[in-house]
């Protein structure tokens, strides 16, 4: 097997960033141009961001994340129901799926109060959404969902606060830290530097929650094992699940970030991942750095908002 060589980018201060193309169509020249174009493009004010995205809990393991299932299903506010219908018609015609999601109804801690929802609920209520693009005859041009909710005297917490997970992977037994370039078209954080993530797909009414036939801890373990296989080609026994930090993003959606370690090196992971069609649907470039490189990298490169907040928490604990 041909070894995949990285583009090595000088970050200054004696620090290096290693970028690996996972897509055979992205050659060394294109990879170099992309990384160079992103250097210096971080425009986020960390202090401002930290007032919007708040760490609410810390768990030693994902098995500690408990759910309290409330009766009923989520329903979008009346003023946005036509928008949700329009999204459904458009996305159904494109082959997309209104998959099940769990929606937080209260504080983001354990145990977490949740109700059932669907992905279209989130899409129809995300605060930066622009309903006028689909229904210009109903919604005012330029008006966002946040503005529509406030105009109708509705709390921003009326949005579908669907709960997702971010998977923060440390390779070489924690010595190497990695992020990925998210592919275009993924549900959240598309075409940006982030970490792989997942949507817990619990169908609450079918699980006999609390009964003898359902073990939530087993579900979390199975869910993460499937995600590690899909995202990094890791098998059972090749990774360890560590701490989980919970966050409430008051502008997007609540989430948890899980620390995962593997003894495999980034180089070994790249060899497994390169050219895999399933991988390329999720991410196309892998970024590697040493732990002490992370602050320099975050200062220079644009990283998805929630992950930008979570990384310092997990390396400075």
3-state secondary structure 86-134: HHHHHHHHCCCCCCEEEEECCCCCCCEEEEEEEHHHHHHHCCCCCHHHC
Structural domain for 169, as ranges:
7-59+165-315
pTM of the model: 0.91
The stretch 53-58 carries a mean pLDDT of 96
How confident is the model at residue 317, as a pLDDT? Answer: 62
pLDDT tens track for 169-191: 999 999 999 999 887 655 565 56
- Same domain for 189 and 289? yes
State which of 158, 181, 198 marks the end of a domain. Answer: 158
For helices 216-232 and 266-273, the axis angle rounded to 10 degrees is: 80
Q: Are residues 144 and 179 in the same domain?
A: no
Residue 207 sits in the same domain as residue 277: yes
Q: What is the pLDDT of residue 230?
A: 92
Question: Does residue 152 lie within any of the structural domains?
Answer: yes
Judge whether 232 lies within some domain: yes
Q: Flag whether pLDDT at 205 surpasses 90.
A: no
Phi, psi values for residue 229, rounded to 5°: -70, -45
User: Helix, strand, coil proportions of the chain in percent (round to 5)?
Assistant: 35, 25, 40
Q: Are 302 and 41 in contact (CB under 8 A)?
A: yes
Q: What is the pLDDT of residue 191?
A: 65
| Domain boundary, last residue among 143, 158, 173 | 158
The residue from 114, 143, 158 where one domain ends is 158
Residue 150 placed within a domain: yes
The more confidently predicted of residues 16 and 251 is 16
pLDDT digits (tens, 9 = 90+) for 212-269: 456 788 888 889 999 999 999 999 899 999 999 999 999 889 999 999 999 999 999 9
Please indicate, yes or no, if residue 2 is contained in any of the structural domains. no
Domain co-membership, 38 together with 88: no
What CATH number is associated with residue 298? 3.90.79.10
Residue 106 resides in a domain: yes
* Residue 149 pLDDT exceeds 90: yes
Do residue 16 and residue 124 come from a single domain? no
Query: How many structural domains comprise the chain?
Result: 2
Mean per-residue pLDDT of the chain: 90
Tell whether 266 is covered by a domain: yes
Same domain (yes/no): 170, 261: yes
Is pLDDT larger for residue 204 or for residue 182? 182
Same domain, 225 and 83: no
At 315, the pLDDT band (50, 70, 90 cuts) reads: confident
Same-domain pairing of 302 and 171: yes
pLDDT at position 43 is 81
Residue from 38, 43, 49 nearest 11 by CA: 38
Q: Is the pLDDT of residue 83 over 90?
A: yes
pLDDT value of residue 255: 96
Q: Which residues pair with 69 in a beta bridge?
A: 114
Contact call for residues 92 and 157 (beta carbons, < 8 A): no
Q: Read off the pLDDT of each residue in 55-84 and give the average, rounded to a whole number.
A: 93
Question: Is there a single domain that holds both residue 109 and residue 145?
Answer: yes
Whether residues 80 and 225 share a domain: the answer is no
On whether residue 144 sits in a domain, the answer given is yes
Whether residues 96 and 40 share a domain: the answer is: no
Same domain (yes/no): 50, 196 = yes
Instruction: Judge whether 115 lies within some domain.
Output: yes
């Amino acid at each position: 097997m041909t070894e995949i060589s990285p583009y090595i980018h000088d970050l200054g201060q004696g620090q290096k960033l290693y970028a690996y193309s996972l897509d055979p169509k992205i050659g060394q020249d294109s990879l170099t141009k992309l990384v160079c174009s992103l250097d210096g493009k971080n425009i986020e004010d960390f202090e401002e961001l930290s007032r919007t995205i708040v760490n609410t809990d810390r768990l030693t393991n994902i098995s500690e994340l408990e759910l309290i299932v409330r009766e009923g299903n989520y329903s979008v506010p009346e003023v946005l129901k036509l928008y949700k219908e329009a999204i459904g018609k458009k996305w159904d015609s494109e082959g997309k799926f209104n998959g099940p999601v769990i929606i937080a109804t209260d504080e983001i801690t354990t145990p977490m109060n949740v109700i059932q929802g669907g992905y279209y609920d989130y899409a129809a209520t995300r605060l930066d959404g622009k309903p006028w693009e689909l229904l210009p005859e109903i919604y005012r041009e330029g008006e966002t969902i946040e503005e529509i909710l406030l105009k109708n005297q509705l709390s921003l917490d009326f949005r579908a606060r669907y709960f997702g997970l971010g998977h923060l992977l440390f390779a070489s037994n924690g010595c190497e830290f990695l992020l990925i370039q998210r592919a275009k078209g993924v549900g959240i954080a598309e075409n940006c530097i982030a970490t792989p993530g997942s949507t817990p797909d619990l169908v609450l009414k079918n699980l006999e929650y609390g009964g003898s036939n359902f073990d939530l801890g087993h579900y979390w373990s199975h869910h993460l094992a499937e995600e590690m296989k899909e995202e990094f080609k890791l098998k059972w026994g090749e990774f360890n699940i560590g701490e989980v930090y919970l966050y409430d993003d008051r502008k997007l959606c609540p989430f948890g970030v899980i620390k995962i370690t593997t003894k495999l090196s980034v180089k070994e992971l790249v060899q497994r991942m390169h050219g895999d069609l399933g991988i390329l649907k999720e991410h196309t470039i892998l970024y590697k750095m040493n732990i002490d490189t992370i602050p320099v990298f975050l200062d220079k490169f644009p990283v998805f908002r929630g992950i930008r907040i979570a990384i310092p928490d997990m390396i400075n604990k």
